[in-house]
Amino acid sequence: ITSTDDFIVPLFDMLSIDYILNTVTITQLKATIDYLLHKITLKTPQIQLHKDLFFIQTFKQFQLSYNQHPVSFKTAKAKELFAYLIMNEGTPIERNRLLDLFELDANHYQARLILYATIASIQELLASLGFPNCIKQINDCYVFHWHAPTIDFKLVEQLLQQINQINEQTIHSCEEILTLYHGEIFALNHYEWNKLSYQEDVLMLLSKMIHYYEALNPLKVLSLLQRYFQLDPYDDYKAL
């Protein structure tokens, strides 16, 4: 409850759900209570969702899916902000950094409202999927924690770390990496803030796989060479 709308933005910065301006009336109070009950209902999934069926694709195009069905975001900026939070999970992110991401004036009243509304929409979406309170605020920073879903680039990182050399025991992991890697991270989304790249790792892996299959399967070698040049058409393939 506040006596002036000057405090509205600070309330939103604290991820408050609603506010009431003095003098409080029964109508205002009832409307706020109804709204709170509505938010509580939204935070309770209507069906039991299996957390292991969530999957986050970052290679080529960002997509959150459940049981192979895409999950929709309210706005393109909400989707981009969620992608940014995924890539910085567990790291405190300054509010002004997020405002820069949105190309908004950090001192502008409307900018902070837009940021709050976007974060609130993500919170609401995740709560409806069975993941409440994933975004926490610490001072002027936001911290995102979401441990359940499988993320493609993290799978690729784990698989790459397991492959010291290519042999009968590791070739399946190599094939799994090629299945997961569709192209560079967020290539079709054009998220300029992303600096993470796996192309060199995948090209090196392809080179090793080509040598592995040379004496075993010439047709497989041709297939891998084709994949190699799709990723880097200007390379003369020095490894051969």
140-183 confidence digits (pLDDT tens)? 899 999 876 799 999 999 999 999 889 999 999 999 999 999 99
- For residue 77, give the 3-state DSSP assignment: helix
Strand order in the sheet with 93-94: 93-94, 141-144, 135-138
At residue 105, the pLDDT reads 63
d(CA 61, CA 57): 7
Does the pLDDT value for residue 201 go beyond 60? yes
At residue 147, the pLDDT reads 76
Question: What average pLDDT does range 205-212 have in this prediction?
Answer: 93
Does the pLDDT value for residue 189 go beyond 60? yes
Binning pLDDT at 50, 70 and 90, where does residue 14 land?
very low
Where b means 16+ CB within 10 Å and e means fewer, 86-121 reads: bbeeeeebebebbbebeebeeeeeebbebbbebbbb
Q: Is the peptide bond before 23 cis (omega within 30 degrees of 0)?
A: yes
Q: Specify the amino acid at residue 158.
A: Q
Tell me the percentage of the chain whose pLDDT exceeds 90. Answer: 49
Mean pLDDT of the chain: 82
The reported pTM is: 0.75
Which region among 47-61, 69-83, 137-151, 186-200 has the lowest average model confidence (pLDDT)?
47-61
Please say whether the beta carbons of 47 and 66 come within 8 A. no
Please say whether the beta carbons of 185 and 194 come within 8 A. yes
